[in-house]
Amino acid sequence: MNLGSPDSTTTRDVRTYLMEFLMDKRVIDYPWLFRKILVGGLIVPFRAAKSAEAYKTIWTKEGSPLIVLTRELQQALQPLVDEPVGIAMRYGNPSMDDAYRSLLKQVPQLEEVIAIPLYPHYAMASYETAVEYAREIHRKNKYTFRLTFIKPFYNDPSYLKALSEHIRPYLQKQYDHILFSYHGVPARHIRKSDPTGHHCLSSATCCDTASPAHATCYRHQCFATTREVVRQLGIPEGKYSNSFQSRLGKGWLEPFTDIRLEEMPKEGIKRLLILCPAFVSDCLETLEEIAIRGKEAFLAAGGEEYTMIPCLNADSQWAAALAGWIKEA
Ligand SMILES: C=CC1=C(C)c2cc3[nH]c(cc4nc(cc5[nH]c(cc1n2)c(C)c5CCC(=O)O)C(CCC(=O)O)=C4C)c(C)c3C=C
Ligand SMILES: [Fe+2]
Ligand SMILES: [Fe+2]
């Protein structure tokens, strides 16, 4: 299960997609009427045409990179498992309904579906909404097969190994700094997902202090991924950092990637490696925001070399990690 993309780059299709996405109460978590006014009256009318232009810069002959690359992952995984592998998007197509129907066609006596939300880290706007949506469609259709979910895998050894080995070749090149740029979320979401009601964002170091809140703390989980990858790769303290990208509005997690990209050259960071570990498939937010606009901003601010490390996409070790979880589930 991945996030999903518009059906095409027309403003109309992008508008339909953005309405579905941003009307999700786990993405914009305001009461329905306020959300409707904000999304339908303010955000989408202004954003749709601009987003459509952005999609045009990354769209391929086969369609949206996110969908194409999720399909490539499906194809890499299929030979490694005995059961049929389907793909579904939280928003747009192919839908969850399509995926269930296709699996039932292939296995009429379907007993269990193992769903893997393709997000390493828990967030109400990504992992949680994917799980709740898969359950809702299952319930609405009165399906009798069991539905099992793979947990966020931010600290799973086989995921971390695949990610580290994917990054390793890029470290051969001379670089000054490696930036782990995670998708941002509003700080409010982090507090809402805190089951203790008082741990998350209570201090600058809360994510390093043991707490049951970390099972659903996106910020903690992002930091944990970085910590383990840099340990495996022997990247020294000071040569790496974390940031948060793609903010929409105020009060999102900091530091912001776009601001850091402008500041870094002035701090002497001229040769940058950048990766986006909140995504396993390249998409608008990695290919347009980071690889195109991020590069322009870094070079304009005095940077000299900017290398974007792609997402895991259909990497063979990554596909093997997924196959391992399916066998263990
Ligand atoms: C309130 C807004 C948003 C939250 C919260 C949010 C969290 C979040 N998103 C992803 C993954 C992806 N987001 C993508 C695109 C995208 N995200 C938002 C807004 C929020 N995301 C918007 C409006 C868009 C659409 C594009 C745009 O207009 O900028 C994508 C790419 C989709 C594609 O087609 O390529 C992904 C993937 C995560 C993992 C996350 C929380 C951690
Ligand atoms: Fe997003
Ligand atoms: Fe936290």
Our answer on whether the CB atom of 192 is closer than 6 Å to any ligand 1 atom is no
Q: Tell me if 138 is assigned to a ligand binding site.
A: no
Atom number, ligand 1, closest to the C-alpha of residue 189: 5
- Tell me if 41 is assigned to some domain: yes
Task: Give yes or no: residues 52 and 88 share one domain.
Answer: no
- Tell me if 1 is assigned to some domain: no
- Tell me if 6 is assigned to some domain: no
The total number of structural domains that make up the chain: 3
Whole-number Å distance, alpha carbon 245 to ligand 1 midpoint, is 10
Task: Give yes or no: residues 178 and 251 share one domain.
Answer: yes
Task: Give yes or no: residues 163 and 230 share one domain.
Answer: yes
In the prediction, which pLDDT does 327 show?
A: 96
Check: CB of residue 323 under 8 Å from CB of residue 81. Answer: yes
- Tell me if 3 is assigned to some domain: no
H/E stretch holding 112 reads strand 112-115
- Tell me if 4 is assigned to some domain: no
Q: Is 98 left (phi over 0), alpha (psi -120 to 50) or beta?
A: alpha
In the prediction, which pLDDT does 217 show?
A: 98
Query: Which ipTM was obtained for this model?
Result: 0.94
Q: What is the CATH number of the domain that holds 83?
A: 3.40.50.1400
Q: Going residue by residue through the chain (329 aa), what tens digit of pLDDT does each one get?
A: 999 999 999 999 999 999 999 999 999 999 999 999 999 999 999 999 999 999 999 999 999 999 999 999 999 999 999 999 999 999 999 999 999 999 999 999 999 999 999 999 999 999 999 999 999 999 999 999 999 999 999 999 999 999 999 999 999 999 999 999 999 999 999 999 999 999 999 998 999 999 999 999 999 999 999 999 999 999 999 999 999 999 998 999 999 999 999 999 999 999 999 999 999 999 999 999 999 999 999 999 999 999 999 999 999 999 999 999 999 99
User: How would you list the strands of the sheet with 240-245, edge to edge?
Assistant: 240-245, 177-183, 271-275, 305-308
Our answer on whether the CB atom of 283 is closer than 6 Å to any ligand 1 atom is yes
Our answer on whether the CB atom of 190 is closer than 6 Å to any ligand 1 atom is no
Residue range of the domain that includes 303: 157-308
Best probe residue, ligand 1, of 248, 279, 280, 313 (max atoms within 8 Å of C-beta):
248
**Whole-structure pTM value:** 0.97
Of 35, 211, 183, which is closest to residue 120 (Cα–Cα)? 183
